[in-house]
Amino acid sequence: MARTAPTSDDLPATERDRVERFLAAYNAVDQLLRERTGVQDRGVSFRAVLRRYARNHRGQKMADRLDDYAELRNVLVHETIVPNGWLAVPTEDVVRRLEGFRDALDGGQRADQAFRREVATVAIGSPLRDALAQAHATGFSQFPVVDEGAVAGLLTDRGIARWLAATAAREGASVSESLKGATVAEVLLADADRTTWALAARSEPAERVLARFVDAPELEAVLITEHGEARQGLLGIATHQDVVRFWDPG
């Protein structure tokens, strides 16, 4: 008896489901990228739109992965072995990553969801030695500085290094001598020419928070509060490292 050709019903349901989810997520990403870049001309390829978005949002890692997924999408759409059968089927991990990119582009996460974490602070009048000890103990490189309950600045390893260099050059003092009696306030004053921090409301889309690092290259942290006000309690913090983490959901 002659064997009949396989049909889509013969294919594992899990494979069909993954392909359908992959294509749905890919199409959503394509549309969202066009909305974010303003390129609605369908004559402009997905890859061209992706490159434009990556340039403006520091999304090169995301762009590299989506470029690979574009290859898989073309195989799924144009290369079949039976009706609704495919030469390659995305794994569950690939599908989830693509869905993660879709959700990130869609503003699916708020700032407090994406960047909620414990935030260690230092008081503006604290001795700098104490702040350095805290940095060593926690491994943190940025500390919001509070003054009477309100955020007044950001103490960073870069700011401390600038202050030490300027102090040593001006006074000819050693590092240990420079630290004697120095306070956090003195470092902030010496670093006042840089805009190193900003505030964001908890409801702000996470993608918009990260876009601030592109708009302001000197920015080192975005602090999350209830309504983006300095006198409200800190709910989280976003840094440059989050730009990479956000666009690499896996």
Per-residue pLDDT of 23-69, as tens digits, reads 999 999 999 898 878 888 989 999 999 988 887 766 677 788 898 99
Give a yes or no: residue 2 inside a domain. Answer: no
Last residue of a domain, one of 81, 106, 131: 106
Distances from the Cα of 164 to the Cα of 121, 151, 172, 219, angstroms:
21, 23, 11, 20
- Is the pLDDT confidence value at 83 over 70? no
Q: For residue 59, what are the domain limits?
A: 10-106
User: In CATH, what number is assigned to the domain containing residue 215?
Assistant: 3.10.580.10
Q: Measured between alpha carbons, how far is 70 from 67 in angstroms, rounded to an integer?
A: 5
pLDDT at 4: 39
Q: Are residues 203 and 236 in the same domain?
A: yes
Q: Residue 42 phi/psi, 5° resolution?
A: -70, -10
Once rounded to an integer, what is the mean pLDDT over residues 184-196? Answer: 91
Last residue of a domain, one of 106, 133, 154: 106
C-alpha count within 13 angstroms, C-beta hemisphere, residue 230: 13
Q: Residue 236 phi/psi, 5° resolution?
A: 180, 180
Q: Are residues 146 and 90 in the same domain?
A: no
Hey, what are 7's tokens? 């049909």
Q: How far is CA 160 from the centre of its chain?
A: 25
pTM of the model: 0.61
Last residue of a domain, one of 106, 132, 160: 106
Q: Measured between alpha carbons, how far is 26 from 77 in angstroms, rounded to an integer?
A: 12
